[in-house]
């Protein structure tokens, strides 16, 4: 009867240890899966951030082009205005001077100003598109980062439960008689 009790206790102990070993394997597998997913998310996040930085750098080039074109347009408008003022002064003085030449110069500076303005508008639109795309990528990277943090936290929880199961096995084994 005592030997039957010992055998029954041994079977229960084997069952307990088997259950704990199964839990350990499941916890380790879950932890490792969370780590793998976290690594993939970190890689995706890093690639998105790199692409966003590249787009922002490209947008900065277009911003510089836009700013340069705006300066050129302002300078051309100032020259046009100077020639228009000459035309007005020539008319006010009774037509003294070459009004036709002055009008032609004013028109040429006006054409240059319009061209610079179009260049500025084109560069501004491209810059705006690139900044918007960079912002969208950064937002997507932020979502990946949050998911990465969530996976790391879940992996830590699984690891803690894994350690707890290992300690329970040690406790069971240490409570056995020598």
What's the confidence (pLDDT) of residue 105? 97
pLDDT digits (tens, 9 = 90+) for 36-78: 999 999 999 999 999 999 999 999 999 999 999 999 999 999 9
∠ CA 76-82-84, nearest 5°, is: 100
- Is the pLDDT confidence value at 5 over 80? no
What's the confidence (pLDDT) of residue 72? 98
What's the confidence (pLDDT) of residue 16? 84
125 pLDDT band, cuts 50/70/90, is very high
pLDDT digits (tens, 9 = 90+) for 69-124: 999 999 999 999 999 999 999 988 887 888 999 999 999 999 999 999 999 999 99
- Is the pLDDT confidence value at 178 over 70? no
- Is the pLDDT confidence value at 134 over 90? yes
pTM of the shown model: 0.76
What is the longest distance spanned by two Cα atoms in the chain? 136
pLDDT digits (tens, 9 = 90+) for 10-32: 778 788 889 989 999 999 999 99
% of the chain surpassing 90 pLDDT: 78
> What is the distance between the alpha carbons of residues 82 and 69, in angstroms, rounded to a whole number?
20
User: What does each C-alpha distance from 62 to 26, 69, 129, 133 come to in angstroms?
Assistant: 54, 10, 10, 14
> What is the distance between the alpha carbons of residues 87 and 93, in angstroms, rounded to a whole number?
10
- Is the pLDDT confidence value at 137 over 90? yes
What are the φ/ψ torsions at residue 94 (nearest 5 degrees)? 85, 20
Q: Looking at residues 155-176, what average pLDDT do you find?
A: 89
């Amino acid at each position: 009867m005592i030997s039957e009790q010992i055998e029954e206790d041994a079977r229960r102990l084997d069952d307990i240890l088997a259950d704990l070993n199964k839990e350990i394997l499941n916890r380790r597998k879950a932890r490792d899966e969370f780590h793998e997913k976290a690594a993939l998310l970190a890689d995706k996040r890093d690639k998105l951030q790199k692409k966003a930085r590249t787009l922002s750098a490209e947008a900065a080039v277009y911003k510089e082009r836009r700013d340069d074109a705006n300066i050129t347009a302002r300078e051309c408008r100032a020259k046009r205005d100077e020639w228009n003022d000459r035309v007005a002064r020539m008319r006010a003085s009774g037509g003294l001077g070459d009004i036709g030449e002055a009008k032609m110069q004013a028109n040429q500076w006006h054409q240059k100003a319009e061209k610079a303005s179009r260049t500025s508008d084109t560069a501004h639109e491209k810059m705006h598109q690139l900044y918007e795309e960079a912002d969208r990528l950064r937002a997507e990277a932020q979502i990946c980062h949050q998911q990465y943090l969530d996976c790391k936290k879940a992996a830590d929880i699984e690891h803690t439960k894994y350690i707890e199961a290992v300690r329970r096995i040690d406790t069971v084994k240490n409570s056995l008689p020598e």
